[in-house]
Chain A
Amino acid sequence: IAGITQAPTSQILAAGRRMTLRCTQDMRHNAMYWYRQDLGLGLRLIHYSNTAGTTGKGEVPDGYSVSRANTDDFPLTLASAVPSQTSVYFCASSDHALGPQHFGDGTRLSIL
C-alpha cells in the first residue's frame, strides 16, 4: 500500500544522545515535511524539502537537521537530544508545495 513510513514508532532517549528519525514515501511526491505536535499547540514545521537535493528551515528548526539525498527519504536528526524535544513527530509529503499533505503514523519521542 502506497504511503509514508516512519520509524521508529516510539523511542525513549537519554538527553545528550544523537537520534535519527526515518521517513520514507513511495508516492514519488516532490515535497516532504517534518512537524512536531505538542499538546495544546498546532503542528509546527521543523524542516521541509520542496524537491530532492534542497531543504529549508521551518518555524522551529533549532536542534534538528535534515537531508534529502533522494525523492523517497527524508531523515530528521537530533544531534544532541534535550527534554524539550519530547514530542510526537510527523513526517508528511505532498505532490507539490500547494497540494494536500499525506502524513506518516508519527514517532513518539521521549527525552529523559
Chain B
Amino acid sequence: GQNIDQPTEMTATEGAIVQINCTYQTSGFNGLFWYQQHAGEAPTFLSYNVLDGLEEKGRFSSFLSRSKGYSYLLLKELQMKDSASYLCAVTDSNYQLIWGAGTKLIIKP
C-alpha cells in the first residue's frame, strides 16, 4: 500500500530552527511537495523536490533522498506566523498526489 508518515505535532521557539521529517512508501515516484496550511485555510505550495538534495528558498529548505524514501522541511529563523500545519505529498506512478496527514507546528515566543 501507499503510505506517507510525518509527526503529528511539533513545538519550537520563535527565532529557532525546526526540521519536519517525512517518510514515504508509494507505487512509483514523480516528485515530492511540501505545503503549508494555516488553520481554517487552504494549503499553499512551499517546495518541490524531484532529485536528491537540498532545495533552498529563503527561510525554508527541503531535502530529498529517494533511495531512503525520506524528505525533510527545514524552517529557519522561526516566526509566529509560521505556526501552521505542514503537509508532505508524493506524486505516484499515476501522477496523483498522495498526502500525509500533516504536521502541526506550534511556535512559542
Contact = CB atoms under 8 A, between A and B. Distances in A.
Contacts of B87: 42-43
Residue among A58, A98, A104 facing the most chain B CB atoms (10 A cut-off): A98
Contact of B96 (A41, A48, A106): A48
State the main secondary structure of chain A at its contact with B.
loop
A42 B99 contact: yes
Interface stretch (B11-19, B40-48, B56-64, B66-74): B40-48
A58 B92 CA distance: 12
A100 B48 contact: yes
Given A42-B4, A42-B87, A98-B91, A106 B42 contact: yes
A interface residue count range (under 10 / 10 to 19 / 20 to 34 / 35 or more): 10 to 19
Interface string A87-105: 0001000000110111111
A45 interface: yes
28 contacts: A41-B101, A42-B89, A42-B99, A42-B100, A42-B101, A43-B43, A43-B87, A43-B89, A43-B97, A43-B99, A45-B97, A90-B42, A90-B43, A97-B95, A98-B30, A98-B31, A98-B91, A100-B33, A100-B45, A100-B48, A101-B33, A101-B45, A102-B45, A103-B43, A104-B42, A105-B41, A105-B42, A106-B42
